[in-house]
Structure 1
Amino acid sequence: MGQQLSQVRFSGNFKDVPLSEVLQSLEQQALQQQQRIHFFYETPVVSTIKVYATFTNVPLAQVMPSILASTQLSYLLYDSNYILLINKEDLSSLSLSPHTVDSAGRKPHPENIPSTEATNDSQETIREKMNLITTKRGTNTYSITGLLTDATNNKKLEGATVYVEEMRSGVLSDANGNYQLALPAGTYNLVYSYVGFQSKRRQISVRSNQTINISLLNTDIRLREVVVTAEAADRNISTTQMGITKLNIRTIKKMPPLLGEVDIVRSVLLLPGVSTVGEGSTGFNVRGGSIDQNLILMDNAPIYNTSHMFGLFSVFNPDIVRDVTLYRGGISARFGGRVSSVLDIQLKDANAQKVTINGGIGLVASRLAIEAPIIKDKLSFIVAGRGSFTDFLLKNLPNESLRKTRANFYDVNAKADYRINSKNTLSLSGYISDDFLQINADSILTIAVNSSITQYRWSNKYGVLKWQHFFSEKLTNTTSLTYSNYTAKVINPTAPNEFKIPSQLKQFDANSDFSYQLNDNHKLSFGIQGIRYFVQPENLEVTPPSDINPISISTEHGVETAIYLEDDFTINKMLTLTYGLRYSHYLNIGPATVNMYAPDSPRESLSVIDSTSYGAGSVIKTYGGLEPRLSLKISLNESSSIKIGYNRMRQYIHLISNTASAIPTARWQLSNTYLKPQIGDQIAVGYFRNLFGNMFETSIEVYYKKIYNFLDYKDNAVVFLNRNIETAVLQGQGRSYGVELLLRKNIGEYLTGWMSYTYARTFAQMKSQIDREQVNEGDWYPANYDKPHTFNLVLNYQLKKRIGFSMNYTYSTGRPVTYPESKFAYGGIIIPDYGLRNQRRIPDYHRLDVAVNIDSGYRKKKKVDKSWTFAVYNLYSRNNAYSVFFKQEGGSANAYKLSIFGAAFPSLTYNFKF
């Protein structure tokens, strides 16, 4: 490939031969001499031209005038290898210098075709014309399709790159590892690549539609990088997507774990725009949204509680997860039902070639995963499970109260994939988790239910049946049926007042999504979705002869449907537009009884003046509306772009809790007559730039979000076991805005990682003509999770081939809190008088985690891959405040700080795979 085009010689004896065939012959002769040339032309222009020419061992500079003699065509050499055939009258519009060579006999440079000395504008015009020719070739354009897999286990590779060197463009494989290219006739060099795998180069001759399946070799043993995305290196520049980050599971596993457990949610907290109210809390907050405003999907099934052990760990087993994508903005019209974000967790496909077993043993839990083929290359399965044994550790602690505490959990994932044929694939996946926590009487939680011992139990279950069908090379479909069930229970096992408080949320989901490649400039996505909700709020069930009165709350029913259409439109090389529209509709249905409250009075039990009963299936209240989505990418050059995005989202299900961090037994509530759907509008603008050949990725995003029917609770609200929840909550407005900065090093032999800073504010306003129906006298106030400043640093350094070091550092502003401003005595009891809501803050939060990963040796025929991970969470023992509370001691009230992890926590984990 190193020789010059001037050194290539051509021969031919053409008599009445179509020009298109002559050009193909020249391409082949150049290829035989280790040189590439490619002709661009419009088919109608050359279809009637016949060539009469004879030449022997001459350079291309002499060939072209010979074969184009007696025609109205000229030719331009672009970027050394591309030759554009063009009408002579079009030359003047390109503003080219006189060095352009054409069939009229202008003298070329000796032995060579001179490159066009065009202006930048002319070069851009040439590129656009070449792209236009490619689009218009019609019958000369062929489809190249295929499947990209891991060579070691035949797993499908999503987001792998297929790059066409001659076209300077490429495509990404979809979620099933499939790719599709449209190429005109000719010879091309395709480069197949994927992060963590060896690239493969394949030369193809395109004369018809082809299927080319490629297997790439995993190089994870030698690559110890922090890689945040498994996509093309410049995808952050070249696509319309913004506010979207993908974490590869290999990246997550390299981060320092807590007590030996790799945690996906904890990793997400290190991304810009994401925060939490404190350590050990359930859920996370994205761009000013509450924890229930995040749609969390595992293999397309919704997860309503992501925590084990009250938020210490997440429910996602890293051994079965393929990748994690967080959508903070630029959310596709395919997603709906939440107003802040989407966390999409995709499970990996089972090994269809051989049996593989991997797992780990840690201080808190152990895990094991088995994957194997049932019918090789056709039917395979994977099962992964985790279980904790913290009860054993707690029983041996010196503190008597802690010895009576019990905490354990388990979870099991299972998935089977059946490749029926090249056009049809079935998959069936399921999940179950169970948590049990028993707290002794010393806990504040036990006092809340007036018990010496309180037990908490919660569980997630789901099942997904998915069918993927390829109608044609352009049209594909994925249809799935999903069942999700979340249950929670509070138990008092102490006689004589034994009771239990169960609650449940069930969801049935059916959806069908289509993808249609209309042409090179338009990719359409469209689909339909239906959801059936069953929500059973907490009921108080007692065991006779208890003195406690039982409380029963009716089950709630709802139906949500949606339809959407989205178009990914490439306007030109500079502009790309993704626009879509989603319409959602919601029905709140019976049986139910709806109270009517006196007008101009606070909504409370004493103001009920009437009620209406609805039978089973009766429509109580309907909501719905359009949800437009828009993303525009403006390319400034090959390494930078500006993006603008807008989203509208609607949410019909809500989490009701008047605590800073909702406990697993918090109440879920459907929209009804009084609780309206939350509606979120977000607009964002971002500048994205890559440096030093995509080694560094930088971005700055600015966003503003407004939420209608924002949910908060009344002062002194009672949420627990409340039959009429509308008397405890308020709806008003919410707004958030912020700036997110990111610097990420994607490529490096030794050091990779990222650094992010987020400035974000979130405020709420509950304003009403009725004083008791508003907060802080109707003024704006900070939300519970308003944290203005957040800084994260993630580094991964490969000391040696077998030894890697990683660290995380995080800093954030303390969250808002309400303090008592004064006190008064009544009947000898000191009563605190609290000020306006959320006007103070707890101390700032910061923490450093480190880890050392030691891999086994690299013997070629070794049977077991082993590794050790030694980590220290909270290295310098920062006593971070989770909350601040007050106790009356003598004549004064003293403030105390509660910390979850007030010391350094070391851990050691042994991982194996065979």
Structure 2
Amino acid sequence: MLKTKYLFIVFLCFSIFSFGLQSQEKLSILALIKQLETQFDVKFSYTENDVKNVFINKPLVTDTIEEIISSLNASTLLNFKFLDDRYITVSTLNKRIKICGTVTSKLNNKPLLGASVYVKNTSKGVITNIDGVFNFSNITVDETIIISFIGYKTASFSAKELMLIDGHCKTIVLEEDIEELNQVLISKFLITGLQKRTDGSTVLNTKKFGTLPGLTEPDILQSIQAFPGIESVNESVANINVRGGTNDENLMIWDGIKMYHSGHFFGLISAYNPHLTNKVVVIKNGTSSEFSDGVSSTINMSTKDVIGNDFSGGFGANLIHADAYFEIPISKKLALHVSGRRSFTDVFNSPTYDNYFERSFQDSELTTNSDNITDGNRSSDFFFYDYTAKLLFDITDKHKFRANVIGINNNLDYTESYQNSDGITESKTSNLKQENLGLGGRWDAVWNTKLTTRLSAFYSKYNVDATNYRIETDQRLTQANEVLETGVKLNTYYKINNVFKLLSGYQFSEIGILYETTVSAPSYDRVKKDVLLNHALFSEIEYRNNTTYLRLGVRGNYFQKFNKLILEPRLNLRQKLSRHFAIKLQGEFKNQSANQKIDFQDDFLGVENRRWILANEKEIKISESKQASFGFEFNQNNWLLDVEGFYKLVDGITASNQGFYNNFQYVNAEGRYNSRGVEFLLNKTADTYSTWLSYTYSINDYEFASITPSVFPNNVDIRHSVSLAFNYNVLESLEASIGGIWRSGQPFTKPIDGNETVQDGNNTRINYDAPNNENIDDFMRLDASIAYDFKFSETVLGVFRVGVLNILDRENTINRYYEVNPEDTSKAIQINNKSLGLTPNISFRLNF
């Protein structure tokens, strides 16, 4: 009897437990609605998108319809409302919820540290911790959450899908992308949107980019100057100096297209619209063997490469230009991304424009008057524009095709009017135009889990055309410089195992350059055309585990015209010695066959005097560089200390492409320069702020065997350079940034005291002292920016930014040279080029 009693109790407990399980059975809202409509003879009105993927505990069959509706309102994010006894409406609530998740890799199921998680069309974002976990509060249910990690496919979720339920967070598994990139070492480097990778390169993500001092938008070529070892001695993105090199030594690639032009407004504004340029990879040393050219650096820009589900874009304006970009999904497999930007400087002159104009055109014919031409008889119109378009076609999950076009244009018209001997007013217009057109396409293919390929091709055309009428001499000067380059590249990526990867490939390029000058009186014509074919094979092996990163590569370049083979070994090593401390060693050989020549006597209206020329292995050699660097990193508690020493030797430079403002500017001489120094960076980041201090010490010397003295300081020998900045999120939507730059003055050559000029036949020229033996005053500038993000509507984000360059209005000299005094030819006139004065700018954007 007792045994039977126990069996009955066990059966009763089991029945109650089973009934509890049954009562907790999960049921979709859609299924429940259909069930309730049949059971209670009611009708529900709803939108399917609002109720799909919503599951609840199955209500007890004994509940009345009123009790069930009350329970649904309490347990879901939906609003059930009786219109009458029979009709019930269902809608979403604008509730604030808490979301969370754990982001892991599909490759090894390990958590991803530093994955970016942000709310679409807002500035709200976090990064995952060491366990791959993220948390968000105060999120509305209808918002979209974007989760991304470099080297992985981006994922998006509705906030409802990530809602914290019963203390449980959703696990998000990210798949590796076709283009497997280097592991991110530091996810927030200097500011949000900058990341440092294991191979030492730096990634700038423009979509998530924070606010740098003085900037009102993520100007690509301005932003990279925040890195140690990268600066512009004359404040121009058309003259970026990386470890003492000249601007033409930087390889610039936009979506696989080699570009020959970098700046609007003749160098003060980047020519690449940042709002479709998704990321920028900057490499100073240890470059992958797939890249050549650019003996000083590689700046690799790429646009967004994912087909989205929704139409999105943005438009905005500042005091110089207006722009717009759109991402247009045509189907699930086809999309079009377009952007355009144009200045309005030809119809409206803002204070920002006036400062830029004065800075760009100082000492040119536009700002220096002739004796018989007054300001009232002079006028100029300047404008620029750029555009991009990208077609994205996912043929299958494993085969993708992309096609791109980019166009960049600067145009300057300069008109002079005067009265002739008959009293008739005549006008003559000079013109300067810069254009760069690029076309590109690529096919990415995944053949199996180990082998992927990328086949790409590009066409790049760069033109500078100038017509200069000189009224004083009734002379017409016409100049042209045209670069045409086509290239094809095949990359094969083979994954040997989880730690070894192999890259091999072939590249062919053909480059032709036209160089032309014509003069009407006296009649003169000079035309030079050169073409060069280059075949290259490259290969590298990459090894990576938890403590060691090693990449060894070699590239062979064969120049068909010269029957010349140049081998380029590459090395990139990073070794962790402890959890927080690592050493790094990098080295590379590189070459460059196209450089810029600087003409002062034929100077494109005095504005743009750089023209591309091609090596001929006679008076102009192929430039070759050898570079090595060694350093260490210490990273703990969001503190980063990065110290790196470097040595760089570039052989095959010419005096004509260095921009001498002394007696060497017309000398045909071949030489070299070597730059060596130390880069120091201290960076502290937190959720609401970031601050950094960088210092670069370097020594940069020329060596020209045919010049006396043969060794002297480089024109960009900046011994000391310091950058200090502080970025702070005052509020969730308000960000402020302030920072300063100080650096040593640029070298210059002065005349000999007491004997400033010398007679040379019928000409008088400056009698120069020892070359680059003096330095202009130190350069110092303090900048600040404020950014405010706000919701214009549920789907539109507004961004308002204010930036001020040189807020102390310090007068900096950025270059100094001398001319013979026309009133007293025994004396020299000192001419100082000045930097930007106090320059404010304002921008407003709407993104959707």
Task: Tell me if TM exceeds 0.5.
Answer: yes
Whether 1:311 and 2:287 are equivalent positions in the alignment is no
Query: Is the deviation greater in 504-513 or in 831-840?
Result: 831-840
> Residues 561-586 of structure 1, C-alpha deviation per residue, up to 9 Å, x if partnerless?
1111111124x754442111111111
The 3-state SS of whatever aligns with 2:494 is strand
Could you say if the C-alpha distance between residues 698 and 201 of structure 1 is closer, same or farther in structure 2, counting changes exceeding 3 Å? farther
Give 1:327 shift. Answer: 0.4
1:410 matched residue in structure 2: 385
Equivalence for 2:834: 899
Q: Is the alpha carbon distance of 1:362 and 1:480 closer, same or farther for their aligned partners in structure 2, counting shifts above 3 Å?
A: same
Spell out the pairing of 1:871-882 with structure 2 (5 A cutoff): 871-882=803-814
Secondary structure of 1:537's aligned partner: strand
2:808 is the alignment partner of 1:850? no
Letter matched to residue 248 of structure 1: N
Residue from 230, 240, 243 that aligns with 1:287: 243
Gap change, CA 1:716 and 1:151, over 3 Å in 2: closer
Q: Which residue of 2 aligns with 1:268?
A: 224
Amino acid across the alignment from 1:847: R
Instruction: Compute the displacement of 1:855 (Å).
Output: 1.6
- 1:202 is matched with 171
Residue 528 of structure 2 aligns to a residue in which SS?
Answer: coil
Does residue 511 of structure 2 align to residue 527 of structure 1?
no
User: CA, structure 1 residues 548+395, in 2 after alignment: closer, same or farther (shift >3 Å)?
Assistant: farther
Q: What's the counterpart of residue 745 of structure 1? A: 684
Residue 654 of structure 1: aligned partner: 595
Q: Is the 8 A contact 2:213 2:725 kept in 1?
A: no
3-state SS in 2 of match to 1:637:
coil
Deviation at 1:291, TM superposition (A): 1.4
Give the secondary-structure state (helix, strand or coil) at the position aligned to 1:785: coil
The correspondence for 1:688, drawn from 611, 633, 637, is 633
Query: Aligned partners of 2:657 and 2:202: how far apart in 1?
Result: 36
**Structure 1 residues 565 and 280, CA gap change in structure 2 (3 angstroms):** closer
Is 1:788 matched up with 2:704?
Answer: no
Report SS of the residue matched to 2:260. coil
CA distance in 2, matches of 1:212, 1:581: 27
Deviation at 1:910, TM superposition (A): 1.0
Q: Structure 1 residues 203, 491: closer, same or farther in 2, change over 3 A?
A: closer
Q: Which region of structure 1 is more displaced relative to structure 2, 558-567 or 748-757? A: 748-757
Determine the structure 2 residue equivalent to 1:106.
none
Shift of 1:539: 3.5
Q: Which one of the candidate residues 558, 562, 574 is aligned to 2:532?
A: 558
Residue 815 of structure 1, CA deviation: 1.1
Question: Which one of the candidate residues 501, 511, 518 is aligned to 2:489?
Answer: 511
- Quote the residue 1:812 is aligned against: 743
Distance 2:189 2:613 in 1: 43
Moved more, 281-290 or 391-400: 391-400
Q: Is the 8 A contact 2:111 2:132 kept in 1?
A: no
Change (3 A) 1:152 1:587: farther
**Native 8 Å contact 2:789 2:798 kept in 1:** yes
> In structure 2, what is the equivalent of residue 248 of structure 1?
205
Structure 1 residues 679-733: Cα deviation after superposition (integer angstroms, max 9, x where no partner): 11111111011011xx1221100011122223323999999xxxxx999532223
Residue number in structure 1 paired with 2:729: 798
Deviations 1:300-337 (A, max 9, x none): 11111201111111101011111111101111111112
Q: Structure 1 pair 744/200, CA: closer, same or farther in 2 (3 Å)?
A: farther
Q: 1:632 to 1:652 in 2, by over 3 A?
A: same
Residues 287-436 of structure 1 mapped to structure 2, 5 A cutoff: 287-349=243-305, 352-375=308-331, 377-394=332-349, 401=375, 404-436=379-411
What is the match of residue 711 of structure 1?
Answer: 654
Q: Distance in 2 between matches of 1:690 and 1:819?
A: 46
- C-alpha spacing 1:515/1:837, structure 2 compared with 1 (3 Å): same
> What is the one-letter code of the residue matched to 2:441?
L
Decide whether aligned partners of structure 1 residues 650 and 287 sit closer, same or farther in structure 2, where only a CA change above 3 A counts: same
Q: Is the 8 A contact 2:757 2:827 kept in 1?
A: no
- Partner of 1:282, secondary structure, is helix
Q: What is the CA-CA distance between 1:177 and the residue it aligns to?
A: 3.0
Of 566, 569, 578, which residue of structure 1 is paired with 2:543? Answer: 569
Aligned partner of residue 781 in structure 1, secondary structure = strand
Change (3 A) 1:810 1:440: farther
Residue in 1 that maps onto 2:616: 672
Q: Is the 8 A contact 2:597 2:611 kept in 1?
A: yes
Deviations 1:198-240 (A, max 9, x none): x986389xxxxx97999xxxxxxxx999536665xxx65xx3x
How big is the shift at 1:491? 1.0
| CA distance in structure 2 between the partners assigned to 1:797 and 1:149 by the alignment | 19
Over 3 Å counting, the alpha-carbon distance change for 1:561 and 1:521 in structure 2 is same
Partner residue, 1:862: 794
Sequence identity of aligned pairs in percent? 24
Q: What is the rounded CA distance, in whole Å, between the counterparts of 1:819 and 1:726 in structure 2? A: 14
Shift of 1:900: 3.5
Residue 54 of structure 1: aligned partner: none
1:765 counterpart = 2:703:
yes
Asked if the contact 2:317/2:844 (under 8 Å) is kept, the reply is yes
Q: 1:787 & 1:835 partners in 2: Cα distance?
A: 20
- The 1:727–1:671 alpha-carbon spacing in structure 2 relative to 1, beyond 3 Å, is farther
- The equivalent residue for 1:586 is 559
509, 512, 517: which one pairs with 1:539?
Answer: 517
Residue 882 of structure 1 aligns to a residue whose secondary structure is strand
Q: Is the 8 A contact 1:394 1:406 kept in 2?
A: no
- C-alpha distance in 2, partners of 1:775/1:766? 5
| Residue of structure 1 equivalent to 2:442 | 466
- In structure 2, give the amino acid aligned to 1:557: V
Q: Which amino acid aligns with 1:637?
A: S
Q: Is the 8 A contact 2:323 2:339 kept in 1?
A: yes
> Retained in 1: the 8 A contact 2:441–2:458?
yes
Question: Which string of whole-angstrom CA distances, capped at 9 and with x for unpartnered residues, describes residues 256-292 of structure 1?
Answer: 456x564211111121011222124623111122211
Separation in structure 2 between the aligned mates of residue 714 and residue 485 of structure 1, nearest angstrom: 21
Residue type at the aligned position of 1:417: L
Q: Secondary structure at the match of 2:238?
A: coil
Is this contact kept in 2: 1:146–1:211, CA < 8 A?
no
* Aligned counterparts of 1:284 and 1:142: Cα–Cα separation in 2: 40
Check the 8 A contact 2:117/2:128 in 1, yes or no. Answer: no
Partner of 1:169: none
Tell me the CA shift for residue 253 of structure 1.
5.6
Distance 1:261 1:203 in 2: 32
Stretch moving more, 793-802 or 819-828: 819-828
Q: CA deviation at 1:640?
A: 1.1
Tell me which of 219, 222, 227 is aligned to 2:191: 227
- Aligned in 2, Cα 1:702/1:823: closer, same or farther, shift over 3 Å? same
Q: How far apart, in 2, do the equivalents of 1:578 and 1:716 lie? A: 36
| Equivalent-residue separation in structure 2 for 1:200 and 1:553 (angstroms) | 70
Deviation of residue 884 (structure 1)?
A: 2.0
2-side partners of 1:715 and 1:296: how far apart?
19
Assess, with a 3 A threshold, how the Cα gap between structure 1 residues 151 and 841 changes in structure 2: closer, same or farther.
closer
Q: Whole-Å Cα distance in 1 between the matches of residues 815 and 642 of structure 2? A: 34
Alignment match, 1:835: 769
User: 1:898–1:706: structure 2 CA closer, same or farther, 3 Å change rule?
Assistant: closer
1:668 is matched by which residue type in structure 2? W
Aligned partner of residue 856 in structure 1, secondary structure: strand
Instruction: Give, in whole Å, the separation in 1 of the partners of 2:684 and 2:403.
Output: 38
Q: Describe the SS at the equivalent of 1:838.
A: coil
Note the alpha carbon deviations across 1:145-168, whole angstroms, 9 max, x for none: 9999999889xxxxx9998889xx
Call closer, same or farther: CA 1:700–1:405 in 2, change over 3 Å. Answer: same
Provide Cα deviations, 1:4-56, integer angstroms capped at 9, x if missing partner: xxxxxxxxxxxxxxxxxxxxxxxxxxxxxxxxxxxxxxxxxxxxxxxxxxxxx
Tell me how far apart the structure 2 counterparts of residues 488 and 212 of structure 1 sit (CA, whole Å): 43
Displacement of 1:776 after TM fit?
2.8
